[in-house]
Structure 1
Amino acid sequence: MTDTRIAVLVGSLRADSLNRKLAEKLAAEAPEGVVLEIVEGLGELPFFNEDLEADPGEGVTQLRKVIDEADRVLIVTPEYNGTMPAVINNAIDWLSRPYAAGVLKGKILSVVGVAPTPYGAKWSHADAARSAGIGGAIVVEDAIVSQPVHEIDVFTDADAQARFREAVAKLASFTPAV
């Protein structure tokens, strides 16, 4: 049996990002039979522009290849001004093209992450899930975890860690209804 490969898109470009650290922790502690691969280079992608679709460049081509070859996609992202960071929106835009035939079509996807707001990036996660779903992804709604970090340390809190591990396990084992 082969491993379930999950491509991870991180919504914060900051080197010391809590969401990057969370993605790295989830990758290091993935369940048996599951491999999480953090996709690099999202900050280097050109902004989506239909004029570039015929030749989007190596970065977009590589991103599409990684997502196409993955079994699942996990977006790990904070919230910026009540919505998803531009880097995630841009990646979804590129992955959803060409219209109705992008590599997101039929791809099983979920969203998790942390933010220092009382809602823990809930709006960002909802926006990313909705956008990816419109782009053709199959969103695993019960694997979405939004965690505030203003009250707890998500890296030592057992309940928070259990929710994130469970989200990865649900994403990995999800079978769409036929």
Structure 2
Amino acid sequence: MDPSTGRAESTKLIRDARKRGVTTIIEFAPLDRGASLEDFTDTLSESDYVIVNDRVAETITQTSLYSDSIFDPVLARKAAQQILDTGLRIAVIIHSGAGAVYVGADGSFYKTNGYFLPWEERAGSAGVDHAFCAGFIDGLMGGKEELDCLRRGLAVSTMCRKDLTPSNSIELMDTCMKFCELSQQVH
């Protein structure tokens, strides 16, 4: 905490970057179960985007994102809106292996199913959250539509599962997209 401003250093960093024209994107890392949305309000209110996995979203919003053990985009949208209500500037993206949602401050809403990776091709899950972020940001910075950004994030995170390391199985974006488009989407 900066004693002169009473703000967390992360909040100050995000605010200063945004003032300089940098698009600010926060990715939440796994949190302890005691964390709450209020713990992050100052930083979120200075940010453009937040990308969060399903379990962290459930923790900070104290909302289940699953109906009958299936990722529910409607419940994810409600949780995303709680995060948006902190003052986040552009959008909240919540992802799981089964799908992803984009909820914009402008009222926009996009959802897509995840990609199916056959069990025999799965090796691990190290880095899947970061892989999703990398794919999503690739689309965002490339000027892609929101739904395409979600699909890119899911494609890269799906490919990430093919190796025990966080990155050895990730290939060029076109290769990731082609592989996932050929595979059956999760329903």
| TM-score interval (norm. to shorter) | 0.3 to 0.5
Larger radius of gyration: 2
| TM-score under structure 1 length normalisation | 0.39
> What TM-score comes out, normalization by structure 2 length?
0.37
Higher RCO, 1 or 2 (CA under 8 Å, sep at least 6)?
Answer: 1
